[in-house]
Amino acid sequence: MKTLAIYSNKGGVGKTAAAVNLSYLAAQAGARTLICDLDPQSSATYYFRIKPKLKAKARGFTKVGRQIENSIKGTDYQNLDLLPADLSHRKLDITFDHLKRSKHRLEKILEPLQDEYDFIILDSPSTINLLAVNIINAVDYVFVPLIPTTLSVRTHAQLLAFCKKHHYNPRKIHPFFSMVDRRKKLHRELMASMSEEFQGVLQNPIPYSSVIERMGLAREPVAVFAPRSAAATAYGNLWAEITERVFLAGQ
């Protein structure tokens, strides 16, 4: 069993698109996969045509157990389930802060699900607070989408500083390039320099693509409605790099 988070402290960088598409690829390869939508905006939940609602007692993740499991929905795809988002996720931070072992709440929530799934993939909101601490504590790998811009370099440096402060192993963090426009010289240059500056940057970028934007209309992973698109290929390559390089290196 492996737990992954797609995480960034910056918004609009392609987190949800990556979480949805990578989860789909994991499930298609035969792994029992659960995607957890932690974002109150509930985009991942929407992409799977599921209602953003948890069972009453599961809201706020204050209790572990049946209510969480009963909130899980099967998606339209084999091996792939989803724990829907909920409006209450807006206040997860505050809720966790009032509970014991507040930095490990999420870990505790996921624990009982570990036997049931080969992969648990978290789609997280853009935040760098107690929820971020919980996410990083709960997972084995953090995948961070980076848009090759100067601003992104800054935010990623912030994230690494944050990890240092909390004594997280920086090897947990795996950046990958997102929304890349190869026609832009700046993008190409920044990708090269960021690969040098930051450790473990994955080499298969996700392009900026109208196909990915169309996910909102199609409400399906790109590999389903545009299997031959460049975007579908890019997610495929990225997932292959993750399974072949990241997971194997971790063993």
Partner 1 sequence: MDNLKFNLPHGYGVQQLVDELAGHYPVKKEEPLAEKLAFYDTFDWRLYQAGLMLSESAGELCLSQLATHQILQRQKITPLPVFVKDFPDSQLKEQLAPILEMRALLLLVEIQTHSTPYRILNQDEKTVAWLVFEEIKPAGGKEAAGQVWVKPVRGYPKELQQVANHLQIIGCSPAEKDAYLLALEAVGRQPGDYSAKLNIRLDPQLRADEATKVILRFLLNVMKRNEPYVKKDVDPEFLHDFRVAVRRTRSALSQIKNVFPAETTDRFKQDFARIGRLSNDLRDLDVYLLAEDTYRAMLPDILRNSITPLFNYLREKRAEARQKVVAGLNAPEYARVLHDWEAFLAEPPLDSPSAGNAALPIIQLAQDRIYKRYRRIVKSGRQILENTADEQLHALRIEGKKLRYLLEFFAGLFPADEIETLLKQLKRLQDNLGHFNDLCVQEQYLLNVVEELPLNGPSARKTLLAVGGLIGSLDQQRQRVKGEFAKTFTAFASASNRALFQKLFAPEKKEVAE
d(CA 116, CA 40): 25
How many binding residues for partner 1 (CB under 8 A)? Answer: 12
| Collapsed DSSP state (helix, strand, coil) of residue 239 | helix
- By CB under 8 A, residue 76 contacts partner 1: yes
Closer of 80 and 147 to partner 1 (Cβ): 80
Find residue 177's DSSP bridge partners. 146
Cα separation of the two ends of the chain: 12
- By CB under 8 A, residue 26 contacts partner 1: no
d(CA 128, CA 168): 14
d(CA 132, CA 124): 8
- By CB under 8 A, residue 37 contacts partner 1: no
Angle, vertex CA 205, rays to CA 228 and CA 39, nearest 5? 90
- By CB under 8 A, residue 72 contacts partner 1: yes
- By CB under 8 A, residue 65 contacts partner 1: no
- By CB under 8 A, residue 119 contacts partner 1: no
Closer of 109 and 206 to partner 1 (Cβ): 109
Structural tokens at position 5 = 């988070």
Are residues 110 and 138 in contact, defined by beta-carbon separation less than 8 angstroms? Answer: yes
- With CB under 8 A as the contact rule, the residue among 11, 65, 74, 112 that binds partner 1 is 74
Binding mask 195-224 for partner 1 (x = CB under 8 A): ------------------------x-----
- By CB under 8 A, residue 81 contacts partner 1: yes
- By CB under 8 A, residue 66 contacts partner 1: no
- By CB under 8 A, residue 50 contacts partner 1: yes
Structural tokens at position 111 = 């624990």
Half-sphere exposure of 228 (CA within 13 A, CB side): 0
CB of 26 to partner 1, least distance (A): 17
Structural tokens at position 198 = 């930051």
Given the rule CB under 8 A, which of 45-53, 105-113, 192-200, 225-233 is the region that contacts partner 1? 45-53
Using CB atoms within 10 Å of the CB of residue 168, give its burial: 0 to 12 exposed, 13 to 18 middle, 19+ buried.
middle
- With CB under 8 A as the contact rule, the residue among 11, 49, 184, 203 that binds partner 1 is 49
- By CB under 8 A, residue 71 contacts partner 1: yes
Are residues 160 and 200 in contact, defined by beta-carbon separation less than 8 angstroms? Answer: no
Given the rule CB under 8 A, which of 18-26, 69-77, 136-144, 154-162 is the region that contacts partner 1? 69-77
Structural tokens at position 82 = 């989803």
Given the rule CB under 8 A, which of 74-82, 120-128, 143-151, 222-230 is the region that contacts partner 1? 74-82
d(CA 240, CA 204): 9
What residues make contact with partner 1 under the rule CB under 8 A? 48-51, 70-74, 76, 81, 219
